[in-house]
Amino acid sequence: MSETSIRRAAVIGTGVIGASWATCFLARSLDVTASDPAPGAEAALRATIARQWPAMEAMGLAPGASPERLRFYATPEAAVEAADFVQENGPERLALKRELFTALDAAAPPDAILATSSSTITVSEFQDACTHHPERVVLGHPFNPPHLIPLVEVTGGAATSAGAVERALGFYRAVGKHPIHLRREVRGHVANRLQAALWQEAFHLVQAGVASVADIDAAIAHGPGLRWALLGPFLNLHLSGGPGGIDALFERPLWQATEEVWRDLGQVSVDPALGAKVAEGVAAALAGRDQAEMLRQRDALLLELLQRKAGAGELP
């Protein structure tokens, strides 16, 4: 089965991430089955899809796309029994993940891909629980919210076949995502590790009394974050190097200064005192602001950025 022949996607776990995946798949005209054991999960899922659907309409629906193509099942086994692709979004608990994938592996068709949205657990840690077809288990880690953000991080575990990884990459491309292929497993994958490095220094700067929470946020939101929304760290460096590009940048004293900053970066653990200090700073930054309206404006601008970026052919 090729990625273009995948017509039935199963979403297992329909919390924040799973519900967003369901919206994404439905917008690409897939038949979607779903399951979640939480009380009221089906009603909550349908309400979330309805709330997210206008954004999908603005981005452009595939012909035949409809929320009515969703079917909810009481058990994960029933949800995956006819699926071509399974997106699992259960809690980040290894024992639960192993139990769940044992069931999914036994119930899903042999040629169905089993993908996990796990943020921290690697495929190799639970793949052996799949006693039938461990070779079809992959990581398909999205960036929240998956119905809007294009990034998906894809890799396999020790027993994953190269073909399964390629099929997963192709499927995510077919539903409008921008998948990247991790050549080996690493805790936290790529985007979360980069994000964690930034958070570590942000907390350190608060702890050291260098700047307020609001000013540290502003340093990113009104500075490099604007460029990072368009280009990643290496291409931004390249453009900073002038006519000589990144090679010239490495030859300049400026780069030596950058490495001096690396050696000066803080190591920090968020103890109760630091946590309270940051929370106080966040509350101060939010004072007088409507958080629901902030969220609405964020998503509206994000949607506009995604639409404009789609038409910018020279951006990666």
Which of 131, 153, 181 is at the close of a domain? 181
Residues 291, 198, single domain; the answer is yes
pLDDT of residue 290: 95
Supply the mean pLDDT for the chain. Answer: 95
Task: Let me know whether 199 and 176 are in one domain.
Answer: no
DSSP H or E stretch at residue 189:
none
pLDDT of residue 209: 97
Residues 151 and 243 reside in one and the same domain: no
- Please choose, from the candidates 14, 192, 168, 185, the residue with its C-alpha nearest in 3D space to the C-alpha of residue 119: 192
For residue range 3-21, list pLDDT tens digits in order: 568 999 999 999 999 999 9
Long-range CB pairs of 241-245 (<8 Å, 24+ gap) are: none
State residue 90's pLDDT score. Answer: 95
Question: 242 falls in which pLDDT band (50, 70, 90)?
Answer: confident
State whether 164 and 22 are in the same domain: yes
Compute the average pLDDT of residues 215-235.
95
Query: Domain ends where: 131, 146, 181?
Result: 181
Residue 1: is its pLDDT beyond 80?
A: no
The verdict on residue 316 lying in a domain is no
Q: Is residue 200 domain-shared with residue 95, that is, in the same domain?
A: no
CB 22 within 8 A of CB 187: no
CA–CA distance, 119 with 149 (Å, rounded to integer): 15
Residue 108 has pLDDT above 90, yes or no: yes
Number of domains within the chain: 2
Do residues 124 and 14 both lie within one domain?
yes
Instruction: Please indicate, yes or no, whether residues 22 and 78 belong to a single structural domain of this protein.
Output: yes
Q: pLDDT tens, 196-205? A: 999 999 999 9
Q: Is residue 69 a contact partner of residue 31, using CB atoms and an 8 Å limit?
A: yes
CA–CA dist 67, 91 (Å, integer): 25
In terms of domains, do 30 and 59 share one?
yes
Same domain for 214 and 297, yes or no, is yes
* One domain, residues 158 and 212: no
Q: What is the CATH number for 210? A: 1.10.1040.10
**Cα-Cα-Cα-Cα dihedral sign, residues 97, 102, 105, 108:** negative
Confidence (pLDDT) at 3: 56
Model pLDDT for residues 17-35, shown as the tens digit of each residue: 999 999 999 999 999 999 9
User: Does residue 30 lie in a domain region?
Assistant: yes
246-302: pLDDT as tens digits: 998 888 777 898 999 999 999 999 999 999 999 999 999 999 999 999 999 998 999
Q: Which domain holds residue 240?
A: 192-310
Residue 213 pLDDT: 97
What pLDDT was estimated at residue 2? Answer: 56
Q: Say what the pLDDT of residue 253 is.
A: 79
Residue 191 phi, psi dihedral angles, 5° rounding: -65, -40
CB 122 within 8 A of CB 187: yes
Q: What is the CATH number of the domain that holds 47?
A: 3.40.50.720
Measured torsion, CA atoms of residues 203, 180, 17, 52, in degrees rounded to the nearest 10: 110
In a domain, 58, yes or no: yes
Same domain flag for 12 and 105: yes
117 and 17 in a single domain? The answer is: yes
